[in-house]
Structures are given as structure tokens and as C-alpha cells.
Structure 1
Amino acid sequence: MSIPAEVIANETPAPTPELPSTAFPILISLSVCHLLNDMIQSLLPAIYPLLKTSFALDFGQIGLITLTFQITASLLQPMIGMLTDRHPKPYSLVIGMGSTLIGLLLLSQAPSFTMLLVAAALIGTGSAVFHPESSRIARLASGGRHGLAQSVFQVGGNLGSAMGPLLAAFIIMPRGQSSIAWFAVAAAVAIILLTRIGHWYRSQLPLAKHHRKRTEVETHLTRRQVIAALLVLGMLIFSKYFYLASLSSYYTFYLMHKFDVSVQSAQLHLFVFLGAVAAGTIIGGPVGDRIGRRYVIWGSILGVLPFTLLLPHANLLWTTLLTVVIGVVLASAFSAILVFAQELVPGRTGMISGLFFGFAFGMGGIGAAVLGQLADHVGIEAVYRICAWLPAIGLLAWFLPRQESAGWH
């Protein structure tokens, strides 16, 4: 997919008091790049069964691979966001995708566990560059429909994450580790698209400051209230991504252990779950724009609790159905949380995006490592009985501020 030349030429909004229209070609192109980026990244956990056998890994080592990827992204994203808030870099996305490409190729040829960790770190670095800057561009292209823009951008990532296990099951698992290199084509396509998006972004920079002043919302909150609200949002991110780590990293092992399904069957179930996550993501943003992000956050995190409590006691059919509901409901929160946080701290879109994407990645990585160790000691089924209570943290959403002008009510 390419961006028509006339779009790049005409996307600069006229300097009028009104908001520019939503730049859907840019948002869709960003979403496609997010799909390609996260599809590549999702190959890593999708091939864990292959790596576990090939390198004789235990669950703890699998958790360390995820931790390396997630922590690399987590530590770098806020710093990159802060840098680009002050000094925007239109073509930094191309550099980030280049790091992902190198990591992908290394992963396909890694001869040892150490090199697997290096490949995971390179892919994590690419993610650290991609997410905060792409989120900033999505906000700039939103035309004031911030929740919708974030959902369109993020659903590409969710779809890519859902495709990874499916592609791994039918392409990588039968052919082995070296076939991972075939996905370099996806990274090359993303680099081309991101170069075109970089041209558009560069053309917007002279008006970006004016646009920000006209579209950012005044919070009318004290510094203490803002910090407290950010802490609550952070706890909700912890709840969401710690639980998601139990499914994204260990769901296949859970299904194979409890129901004795094949690797390919387990990965198909993972694909269904990740597809539900994608559906929840696209739903959450527009609903938050319409009824208020606070309501979406409240309903998403706490509302999933009954289903997570039922999951460890379900048969295979009900496990599949429950994970679909969990994926849709739980995923609807992130767009609302991110835009809520951006509006708490006006003018710091990159820093807040990097902080929350980074924290989400970090919680996913720490969750994978902790849960992997826990699974080694108490068993994989016990992990899901323990994690079932994490969504109860959603009760903290009660303490989020109500401010209708910001769409938070």
C-alpha cells in the first residue's frame, strides 16, 4: 500500500481556527506499518515451542527472551518520546524499522541462546522507536478524533500480532528457524511506507506547534491530581498487560498441557484470541470519544473479571469462547487509557506515548518472566488461577478524575 502523491501534497491543513480533517490515508498507512511491525515482533513468542525444542530451553529462559525484548522497548520508548517532543525526527521510524529488520535476520540464524537475546533486543529497539513517534503522527492526523485515530493505528498492531502465530504455524514451524528470514520482505515494505509517511510528517512540522495549541485540552487539575491519575492508569496497565502476558506467552503451552492439543492447533487458538484483541482495540477508541474514556476504562478492566475467573475451570470449547470475550473486553481499554493520559499532560504526546507504550511492554516482559518462573514451580494451570484475579485492580478506575471537556467522564 502506498500513499498517493496528492495526499502528501494536500494534507497540510489551512491555518484556520477549525481543526483539520482526519487524515485517513495517513492513519491507514500507519496502521499497515503497525501491522507489519507487530507481525514481525509476534513471530518471536509464536516460535517459542520451536526454540524450546531446538535450544533445550526451560520456561525461565523463554521468559528471559520475552523480558529482553520487552525491557529494551520499555526503557528506550520514554526517552525517545521525550527527545522527539523537543526535536521531531520525521524519518526516525525508518531507522527503527531497520533495527527490527536486522533483529529478524539475526533471529533466523541465531546459533545460541545468547544470540537469541541479542536478536530480541534489536527487535525491541525497533519497537521503542516505532511506537511513540507513530502515536504522535496518529494524533497529528486525527483531526481532533483522538480516540478513533489511536484505535485505527493500534488495530494494525493487534492484527499483526494475531497474524504472527498463524504464519509461524504454517510457514516457520514446518520449515524451521531459517525460514524466519522470509519475513524480511514485510520489513522492507514497511520501510518504504514509513519513508512516505516521513515526507508527510516533515511537511506538517511548521504547523504542528500551532495545531497542538489548538487541539490540546486544558486539564484544570493540580500537579498532584495529574500524578495520582497517571499512577492509577499505570496500575491499570499493569493489570492488563500482566494478564495478557499469561495468554500471549503461555496460552499455547496451557492448551497443549491441559487439553493435549497439537502445536498448530494451540497456535490457531492463540490466533483467535489475538484477533479478539484486535477487535477490542478498534472498538475502544471511538466508543471512548463518544461516551467518555473513563467509562471505557472502567468497563474494560473490571468488566473482564468474571470471565478470567471462569477460564481456569472451562473445557476446550468454553476456553476458546472465554478468551475471545476476554480479548475484546480487555483490549478496548488501551486507546482510552493512552488518550486519557495524553490529555492529562498536554503538549507531551511523545513522552506520554513512549512512557505508556514502554510501561505496557515492560509489564508484559516482567509478566512473562515472572509467570515463566512460576509455571516452572507450580505448573501452568496454577498460573491461570492466580492471574484470574488481576482485573480486580480495575476498581482503581473509580479514582480517575471526571472532566467532561476532556472526554473523560
Structure 2
Amino acid sequence: MSRKKSITLLSVGHACVDIYQGAVASLVPFFVAERAYSYAAVSGIVLAASVLSSVAQPVFGLLTDRWAMPWILPVSTILGGLGIALSGLSGSYPLTLLFVAVSGVGVAAYHPESARVARLVSEGSHTAMGWFSVGGNLGFAAAPLMVTVVATGGLRLSPLLVLPALAGSVLCLPVLRALHALQKKTASDGSGSRAAAGVDDKASFVKLSLAVVFRSIVFVGLSTFISLYAQQRVGGGTTAGTVALFVLYSGGAVGSVLGGSLANRWDRVTVARWSYLLTIVAVAGTVFIPGPAFYAFVALTSIGLYVPFSLHVTLGQDYLPTRVGTASGVTLGLTVSIGGLASPLIGGIADATSLRTALTPLILMPFLSWLLFRTLPEPTTPKPATTARQSRESTEAELAPVRNHHR
């Protein structure tokens, strides 16, 4: 299978998984309307999906570094969809938390292994990894539309939300078969004897991870409350909220593609640094500017937060070249999970004061990410292979640590 086709299928599969991360925030207005949940209560639902995912993704990354687990892609996709599908069936708050948490574990299991597979089939291409990330952005963008269409008929129709998971689990199977064939081929030609080269830069990886955490707080905080905030700033009821959430998620697709393209012209650290600097202004506009211009600032915020999205992943993998799965689990997972830890705090402040007051501290977060990126070096990466044989050797170098563990 060609690299382009493999990345395309992985990107669509990524969309089918990340639609369930977007679905959690998209269900918030319906939980409020149908079950009269408070701001703090709906924040707890986001937290349920985020906490387990935050802890589990690095764990699954460690497992991925030790054993190749391609089978986990279809399994985790189904698990992610099943949890969200069941969350609307019971009015019980504890059961809702449980089902959303199950979905979070499924999403957590998916990302480290999918990032490892994407790295192998893309041969480290920034552009290809950008397109893989776009799939997740499109999943986020589709979530509010899908949830609105289904939940308008009542949360009792939530089992229909499992359909993207069923599709995604099937779409990843051809890629797994192609990867298996590649592993057999590279094992038979003897090119897998080399160990992966590189030395871990743990200090830079920690700084990168902190920058990702601050970025995550902004994104998850806005994801949780932007639909409710839009109704206050623009008017128009739930429609205004759905449009705001769609803009927040769809702008990420533009940012991810732009980030990969810019990284081919300038280095990744420089691109991420400028992106965070511009995001400070965009978040401030989102919080303080009313009327139709609100949507423009939401779009700029989304683009600014997602320009470095795929760059976080490749930077993390290059800072920890001997622990690619762990790096993927932390960088790709933390961008959409650990920020949820701040959501209950935001919700509590909003209940005590106002949403505007609660969202104002988010302006500081991209500034902190910018400060951290000022201290990060651009890692040196090996030149891409120029022949078929070199390409096979480069790919097998990534697979060698996994085989060594098997032995």
C-alpha cells in the first residue's frame, strides 16, 4: 500500500476516534437542557473523560514502546464510541461519568499506537503527520454537528453515535495488513539488525510537555464552555453555540495543514513559537469581543492552537527517539486530555461569578507556552531515505526496538 493511501486511511480513522472527544463537549448543552446539570456538573463530565485519558495515554505509550500493538486500533475505536453512545441512556450522573470515562480510555489507547504507525508509514514526513493530525481535527469539527442532529431528538437516541466507531474500526484494517506485510519483508531481508539511533533529550521533552499542557488548558476550557459562552456574546440560542463549537474544531484542520507546510520552510520550534504569540491576541478577542467578530476570533484561536499540533508530536518523538510510543502518548494525548483537569475550576468560577471572568485566565496560557518554546532547541533529524532500500532500512530501524523487546 502506498504511503499516501495509508496516511489517508489513518487520518479518516483518526477522525472516527476524535469525534468522540469532541462529542463530550458537544453533549454539554443537552445535558444542561435535559438534565438541568450545573456548570460544575458538566465540567465533571469533561473531567471524567480527561483524567483517565491523561493517565492512560502515557501508560499505553510505554506499552507501545515495549510491544507493537496494532490490534488495539480497531478495539480502542469501538470502545471510544461505545462509551459515548451509552452516556445518553441513563439519567444517572454516576453512570454518565462511567460511560464517558470508558470512552476516554478507548481514546487513550488509540493515540500512542496510531502515532507510532503513522510515523512508520509516513517515514517521518512533517506534511504527512500534519495530514494524520487533520483527521483528528475533522473529527472534532464533525462532533457538534453529529451530536446536534442525533440529540435534537433526545439523548435516548445516543446509541446512534456509535456508527463512526464501527466505520473507523473497519477502515484501519487495510493499514494494519500492510504494516504486517512490511514487517515480514524487512525481517526477511536482514535490514532490521540496526538499532534506532539517537539520544533522548529529557529536559527538552519535559519543557515541551509543559507547553502542551498550557495549550491543552485553553483548548479544552474553550471546548467545554464556548457553546454556552457564544449564546451570551452573540445570542441565537443553541444554534449559536453549535456554530461556535464547529468553528473552534474546524479551524484546527486549517492550522494542522498550515503547521506542516510552515515547518518545511522554517524549523518547527520557530513556527510553534510565533503561533503561540499570535494566539494570545486571538484568545483575548474571543473572551472580550462581542457580536459576529466573536466567531472570527474563535477561528483565529483554533488555527493558532493547531499550527503546532502535529509539530508537538514529531518534536516529542525526536526529543525521545528511543521512546517514540511514550513521546506520542504524552504529546498527542495531553493536547486533548489533561487540560480537562482545569475544567472543573473554570466551571466553579463561572458558577460563582460569570463565564467571562472564568475564561479570562485562559489568555495567559499561550503566553506560558511561548515562554517555554523560547528555551527549546530544534532537534537534528536524519535526512530522509532516497532509495527504496534506504526507505526499508529507515522503517526497520523504528521497528527494531520492538523486536529486541520480543527477543
TM-score class, shorter: 0.7 to 0.9
Shift of residue 374, structure 1, vs aligned partner: 1.8
Q: Secondary structure at the match of 2:173?
A: helix
Structure 1 counterpart of 2:353: 378
Residue identity in the other structure for 1:345: L
Q: Would you say the 8 A contact 1:74–1:360 is kept in 2?
A: no
Q: Secondary structure at the match of 2:122?
A: coil
Q: Would you say the 8 A contact 1:46–1:168 is kept in 2?
A: yes
Aligned-partner Cα distance in 2 for 1:29–1:83? 24
1:247 aligns with 2:222: yes
Aligned-partner Cα distance in 2 for 1:306–1:185? 39
Structure 1 counterpart of 2:129: 150
Aligned-partner Cα distance in 1 for 2:330–2:191? 24
Structure 2 counterpart of 1:231: 206
Structure 2 counterpart of 1:113: 93
Distance 1:211 1:153, change over 3 A: farther
Shift of residue 331, structure 1, vs aligned partner: 0.8
2:43 to 45, 63, 68: 63
1:204 aligns with 2:179: no
Aligned-partner Cα distance in 1 for 2:131–2:193? 20
Aligned-partner Cα distance in 1 for 2:273–2:34? 43
Aligned-partner Cα distance in 2 for 1:212–1:130? 28
Aligned-partner Cα distance in 1 for 2:29–2:46? 13
For the aligned residues, what is the CA RMSD? 2.2
Residue identity in the other structure for 2:308: A
2:8 to 19, 28, 37: 28
Q: Would you say the 8 A contact 2:32–2:42 is kept in 1?
A: yes
Aligned-partner Cα distance in 1 for 2:304–2:21? 23
Q: Please give the TM-score of this superposition, normalised by the length of structure 1.
A: 0.87
Q: Would you say the 8 A contact 2:234–2:292 is kept in 1?
A: no
Q: What CA deviation, in whole Å up to 9, does each residue of 1:122-141 have, x standing for no partner?
A: 11111011111110111001
Q: Would you say the 8 A contact 2:88–2:96 is kept in 1?
A: no
Equivalent runs, 1:250-329 vs 2, <5 Å:
250-329=225-304
Aligned-partner Cα distance in 2 for 1:99–1:241? 23
Residue identity in the other structure for 1:155: V
1:194 aligns with 2:169: no
Q: Would you say the 8 A contact 2:280–2:363 is kept in 1?
A: yes
Residue identity in the other structure for 1:395: L
Aligned length: 379
Q: Percent identity?
A: 24
1:166 to 140, 145, 153: 145
Shift of residue 159, structure 1, vs aligned partner: 0.6
Shift of residue 198, structure 1, vs aligned partner: 2.1
Aligned-partner Cα distance in 2 for 1:304–1:280? 12
1:181 to 159, 166, 170: 159
Distance 1:329 1:361, change over 3 A: closer
Q: Please give the TM-score of this superposition, normalised by the length of structure 2.
A: 0.87
Structure 1 counterpart of 2:376: 400
Q: What CA deviation, in whole Å up to 9, does each residue of 1:90-147 have, x standing for no partner?
A: 21111112212321331231231111111111111110111111101110011331x2
Distance 1:387 1:228, change over 3 A: same
Aligned-partner Cα distance in 2 for 1:59–1:353? 32
Structure 1 counterpart of 2:325: 350
Shift of residue 402, structure 1, vs aligned partner: 4.0
Q: Would you say the 8 A contact 2:6–2:175 is kept in 1?
A: yes
Structure 1: state its 5+ residue gaps.
1-6, 12-22
Shift of residue 205, structure 1, vs aligned partner: 2.9
Q: Would you say the 8 A contact 2:57–2:108 is kept in 1?
A: yes
Shift of residue 212, structure 1, vs aligned partner: 11
Structure 2: state its 5+ residue gaps.
384-407
